[in-house]
């Protein structure tokens, strides 16, 4: 099934291309780990296959935005239980709050989804269980005018993958490969390793 390193790299590429497009893809919601060794599940919104860059949405006020701003190291864990394939990736993260790419991502969101950025910042303390949303938007979709202040809180987490580790779990024996590149322009260098 995976006889060559090119087969493995192609498998990873195809899985990452599918993940943001298909909500049922097991790799649609990877685990993102920031430099402070904090992990969270996030939704993969886009994958640029030419640059091997992931795009995720976040709140500019979130602790992870501050962490990535100070320490760009990011790890990403993808797992497809049915295929028995795990991809562990490392890369450089950036938080973007302005620019065409951010504006386009904001414009392509639904008002219901964008309302999340109207609420209290992630991690804000509360005396009771809360969504953090203003009461008028609990279960309600705001209109475009009501969302104007939310735009300032919207950000993209961009991750350019610089290395990845692919593991195929098989009853006949697991198979593992690692890949690395020095820059976005360089080719991937891969090698087989013991699982």
| Residues 117-126: tens digit of each pLDDT | 999 999 999 9
Residue 186 clears pLDDT 80, i.e. is over it: no
Task: Taking residues 155-183, report their average pLDDT.
Answer: 95
CB 157 within 8 A of CB 95: yes
Q: How confident is the model at residue 193 (pLDDT cuts 50, 70, 90)?
A: very high
Mean pLDDT over the full length of the chain: 95
Share of the chain above pLDDT 90, in %: 93
Q: How confident is the model at residue 2 (pLDDT cuts 50, 70, 90)?
A: confident
CB 57 within 8 A of CB 110: no
Query: Which residue would you say has higher pLDDT here, 160 or 140?
Result: 160
Is residue 41 exposed (0-12), middle (13-18) or buried (19+ Cβ within 10 Å)? exposed
Task: Taking residues 144-161, report their average pLDDT.
Answer: 96
Spell out the SS3 assignment of 5-65.
Answer: HHHHHHHHHHHHHHCCCCCCCCCCCCEEEECCCCEEECCEEEEECCCCEEEEEEECCCHHH
Instruction: Count structural domains, the chain.
Output: 1
DSSP 96: E
Residue 94 lies in domain? 5-193
Instruction: Provide the CATH number for the domain around residue 40.
Output: 2.30.110.10
Question: Whole-angstrom Cα distance, residue 94 to residue 71?
Answer: 9
Q: Give the chain's largest Cα–Cα span.
A: 59
Record the pTM: 0.94
Q: What is the pLDDT of residues 89-139, one digit of tens each?
A: 999 999 999 999 999 999 999 999 999 999 999 999 999 999 999 989 988
């Amino acid at each position: 099934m995976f006889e060559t390193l090119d087969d493995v790299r192609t498998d990873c590429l195809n899985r990452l291309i599918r993940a943001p497009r298909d909500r049922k893809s097991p790799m649609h919601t990877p685990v993102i780990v920031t430099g402070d060794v904090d992990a969270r599940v996030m939704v993969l919104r886009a994958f640029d296959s030419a640059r091997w860059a992931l795009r995720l949405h976040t709140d500019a006020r979130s602790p992870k935005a501050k962490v990535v701003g100070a320490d760009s190291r990011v790890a990403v864990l993808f797992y497809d239980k049915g295929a028995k394939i795990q991809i562990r990736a490392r890369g450089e993260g950036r938080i973007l709050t302005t620019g065409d790419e951010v504006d386009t991502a904001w414009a392509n969101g639904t008002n219901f989804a964008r309302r999340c950025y109207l609420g209290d910042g992630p991690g804000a303390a509360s005396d009771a269980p809360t969504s953090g949303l203003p009461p008028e938007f609990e279960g309600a979709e705001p209109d475009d005018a009501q969302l104007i202040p939310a735009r300032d809180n919207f950000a993209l987490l961009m991750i350019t993958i610089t290395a990845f580790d692919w593991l195929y779990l098989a009853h006949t024996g697991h198979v593992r490969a690692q890949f690395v590149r020095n820059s976005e322009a360089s080719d991937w260098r891969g090698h087989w390793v013991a699982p």
